[in-house]
Structure 1
Amino acid sequence: MPSRNEPHFPDFSTFIDRVNSAEHARFTTARPALRVGAEEFDGMRAHIQSLYAGIETVPHSFVDDNDQIFDCVPIRSQPALRGATEAPPAPPDAPAAPGPRTASQGVPLRPQLRSDRIDKFGHAMACPPGTIALRRITLDELARRSTLRNFFQKSPLGTGRHPRLSPPSVQAGIHKYAHAFQIAGNLGGHSFINIWDPTVGSQIFSLSQHWYAAGSPVQTVECGWQVYPGKYGTTQPCLFIYWTADGYQNTGCYNHDCSAFVQTNPNWAFGGTLGPVSVLGGAQYELEVAFYFNGGNWWLYLGGTSASNAVGYYPGSLFGSGPLATGAASDVDYGGEVVDNTAWPPMGSGMFASSGWQWAAYHRDVVYYPTAGGGVQASLTPSQPSPNCFTCEVNHADPPWNEYFFHGGPGGTDCA
């Protein structure tokens, strides 16, 4: 019998060796349900080899509650920093929100990775100092998407879409939203998001997130939670980030799926599950999220807005000569998105916005960071283009709610 401490998954070196030796004919013969051509397969293998090139030693690996493998990788050898001659800059504090801070009715979500969490094999679900956790990307995961470009896209049903700034002709019938936005020059913003696990069966995904965007084609940085069984193999909500520099066409990827996001904080794992989830009529678990453009980078914060809460950044250079390269976002947007083409999954808790506290999904204390500096309470406009299935209601109250909104709904087939 293997001991509890013996891993039941290949170590990082073995994983890389298997990728290097993988052959299209043997791979597809063993997986007849997958439809991936030889040329695409070679591109997928090359992407994994490139993504992990130069990572010679991994001091620790573990699995999450869904058996996804995470490898602890030295910060300086993560894909987005490979070849860099300088260390990542020190993170700044994000701007303080206006007004007094009062205790929330919601329960703050703790970071996923902590030394007191142990996986089912006895491994600590935490990384040693100087390393961060990368979710292991496998050939099987890439091959499920048929092409490498499909793997990078936000949805398997073609390119992604911004709820406001994408042209109406771009997959308007596939993406459904209930969200709240403000048109304002900004360097990012902030909200508390409560966490849910809507039932996504054969549909694609359901999420709640931030978008900071500008331009045509649109450029965005995004973060939130997402239930996406086809990607993560679980019906639990997972922490995700996404970006695009050209309207979701040829740039962009989730998490660390490509060389884009620079992670500096070891306490969070992109693509890892989040929990506990909120309870209908009971406890509400929430995650504080913020983006802030500073020093040429889009810094992401989770669980607070001090420098110690900074998780990492998207370099402004990803956006070329576009508006997000200089922090010139023009749109702050928050809320829910679901994707399918025949029957759309629930959004948030599955309850309409009118259900309110302890029943509906929410974003509260919504603040944006104007280009002049500081933080101001948002003045949001609700949008619910599919009210039969999903709704959004914006309100303002005393702290700790301030500017807030409820959103969500049961989904279904009549979501025009």
Structure 2
Amino acid sequence: MPVDDATSYEDHYPGSFIPFDRFLKQVRLAKYEDYKHTKVRNQQAFNEMKAHILKMYEGVTKATSFVLQDEHADCIAIHEQPTVYHLGIKDIPPPPVNSTNDHTGDGNAPGNTTSAESPLKLGKKDRFCNPISCPKTSIPMARLTLEKLTQHPTLNDFFSKPPMDARPQRPEFSADEIHVHAYGIQYVQNFGGNSWLDLWNPTGDFTISQQWYQGYASGQPLQSLEGGWVSENSDNSRLFIYYTADGYGKLKCWNLDCPAFVQINHNWYLGGPWDHYSTKDGDQWGFALQWKFYQGNWWLFLQGPGAYEAVGYYNQTIWNGGQMTHNASVIIYGGEVANYTGGENFPQMGSGDLAEKGWREAAFQKTIFWIPRDENDGVGVWANLTANDEGKSSCYTIDLVNWPNGGDWGTYFYFGGPGGNDCPL
């Protein structure tokens, strides 16, 4: 059967490998009529999505690709990635050394954990015999497709991640989309921070375990920097980062989906899944994530079984001179869920068990510290968090232990729950 280039190759041969050049050709020839069955709002919204995809890849001359869990990723040269190309970055600064922590504390840690490795470092191949890895001079980028974007009414919806307590202040968010959080918070001037995140695959519409670093300044919109893992529609949890420079208005996006984050590391796949996840009464798999402000840029570090690796940075220009060009004023760690269908069926958070279930049952974050100075390397300060739970106690809870009572885990907490009906307070 001949393939119409104006429609997706996947429509004719599901599960096929689509080379990068063929993918771009499909986008150029795509028509709104082929996507009217999706959630895209109208012709104008579709045109905006199509234009965004083509603009993002303007500077890319070539790419190799692989498929990981049915999603294409493209290996793009570091100096051709969208942020470098569109922001006109000529020189990428060398990364700082990550901050560490003081492991002393009172009491015993609950148990031993296992660090999950990036799937791109495992030497595997996809089902089409392509290496699931990228050359050292390139970075992996989750492919921006019309199939992915048209799952949302508009491009702005694709970029969106509503903030805490968004509903009363932000009527433009759908009344059918309700977010609930369980988290630990500390108001402190900081230059980033750190935690080790236990990895799970909860079920439901939208559920997250993450870090937030937020900047508040008088007369300016909230600015926020985030990262952790996210599961949507019961899919395998994926690594993510997120930013907003204007209180979740128009200046926001996930991962590498807009020109904002400069990636320098070929080993870590933003938006990609993991090879291992925690199981109840079994091994507890996870990873360390650290944000570190250094000389104007916010650097991301990730750690699997080995040392911390600098992944890249948010370029300082994206903050438009706001608070996050100087430092953050709040640290937050915890869980977030969203119910897109309204009313009932709030998703699981964490492992799906309440915090009081504890070790090998409930999800957790540990080794939580904040960074006190703009400096290369340095030692962090153990967080002194205050617990907050926005949902009903039958749905979600958090059980917090601050240093020095956490032993080798430092400051840590269990969190999560089964969700269910009518969870908001």
Partners of 2:17 and 2:128 within 8 A in 1: no
Aligned to 2:253: 253
Aligned to 1:82: 85
* Alignment-mate amino acid for residue 276 of structure 2: P
Is 1:178 the counterpart of 2:182 in the alignment?
A: yes
Q: Deviations over 1:366-390 (max 9, x none)?
A: 1001247641111110001212311
Is 1:107 the counterpart of 2:114 in the alignment?
A: yes
* Alignment-mate amino acid for residue 182 of structure 2: A
Rate the CA distance shift 1:142–1:281 in 2: closer, same or farther, 3 A. Answer: same
Moved more, 13-22 or 82-91: 82-91
- Secondary structure at 1:49's aligned position in 2? helix
Aligned to 1:392: 398
Q: Deviations over 1:258-309 (max 9, x none)?
A: 1111111111111111231101011100110100000111101110799961
Aligned to 2:135: 128
Rate the CA distance shift 1:307–1:364 in 2: closer, same or farther, 3 A. Answer: closer
Aligned to 1:194: 198
Partners of 2:355 and 2:417 within 8 A in 1: yes
Is 1:364 the counterpart of 2:363 in the alignment?
A: no
Partners of 1:223 and 1:241 within 8 A in 2: yes
Is 1:298 the counterpart of 2:298 in the alignment?
A: yes
Partners of 2:353 and 2:418 within 8 A in 1: yes
Indicate which of 337, 347, 354 corresponds to 1:345.
Answer: 347
Distance 2:39 2:160 in 1: 18
Rate the CA distance shift 1:335–1:53 in 2: closer, same or farther, 3 A. Answer: same
Aligned to 2:5: none
Would you say how many aligned residue pairs link Structure 1 and Structure 2? 390
Identical positions, percent: 35
Moved more, 285-294 or 103-112: 103-112
Superposed displacement of residue 218, structure 1: 1.4
Aligned to 1:336: 335
Is 1:117 the counterpart of 2:119 in the alignment?
A: no
* Alignment-mate amino acid for residue 20 of structure 1: R
Indicate which of 31, 39, 52 corresponds to 1:47.
Answer: 52
Indicate which of 342, 353, 356 corresponds to 1:354.
Answer: 356
- Secondary structure at 1:370's aligned position in 2? coil
Aligned to 1:221: 225
Distance 1:268 1:258 in 2: 18
Aligned to 1:402: 410
Q: Deviations over 1:138-170 (max 9, x none)?
A: 11221221211111112xxxxx1136xx68544
Q: Give the TM-score normalised by the residue count of structure 1.
A: 0.88
Superposed displacement of residue 33, structure 1: 4.3
Q: Deviations over 1:371-411 (max 9, x none)?
A: 47641111110001212311111114354211111100110
- Secondary structure at 1:276's aligned position in 2? coil
Partners of 1:197 and 1:236 within 8 A in 2: yes
- Secondary structure at 2:54's aligned position in 1? helix
Q: Deviations over 1:70-104 (max 9, x none)?
A: 01000000000005352311111122212359997
Q: Deviations over 1:163-190 (max 9, x none)?
A: 6xx6854469811011101110000100
- Secondary structure at 2:260's aligned position in 1? coil
Distance 1:195 1:305 in 2: 14
Distance 2:261 2:305 in 1: 18
Aligned to 1:383: 388
Partners of 1:115 and 1:124 within 8 A in 2: no
Distance 1:360 1:97 in 2: 25
* Alignment-mate amino acid for residue 61 of structure 2: E
Partners of 1:242 and 1:253 within 8 A in 2: yes
* Alignment-mate amino acid for residue 329 of structure 2: S
Q: What do you get for the CA RMSD once the two structures are aligned?
A: 2.3
Q: Give the TM-score normalised by the residue count of structure 2.
A: 0.86
Partners of 2:295 and 2:374 within 8 A in 1: no
- Structure 1 gaps of 5+ residues are 1-6, 155-159
Aligned to 1:157: none
Partners of 2:184 and 2:332 within 8 A in 1: yes
Aligned to 1:96: 100
Q: Deviations over 1:186-232 (max 9, x none)?
A: 001001110000012xxx30010000002252111100001013xxx
Superposed displacement of residue 24, structure 1: 2.2
Partners of 2:164 and 2:181 within 8 A in 1: no
Is 1:19 the counterpart of 2:24 in the alignment?
A: no
Aligned to 1:4: none
Aligned ranges for residues 250-289 of structure 1 at < 5 Å?
250-289=250-289
Superposed displacement of residue 115, structure 1: 5.3
Partners of 1:44 and 1:139 within 8 A in 2: yes
Distance 2:385 2:39 in 1: 44
- Secondary structure at 2:120's aligned position in 1? coil
Aligned to 1:414: 422
Rate the CA distance shift 1:372–1:43 in 2: closer, same or farther, 3 A. Answer: closer
- Secondary structure at 1:82's aligned position in 2? helix
Superposed displacement of residue 39, structure 1: 1.8
Partners of 2:182 and 2:416 within 8 A in 1: yes
* Alignment-mate amino acid for residue 228 of structure 1: E
Distance 1:235 1:285 in 2: 17
Distance 1:404 1:199 in 2: 24
Partners of 1:242 and 1:252 within 8 A in 2: yes
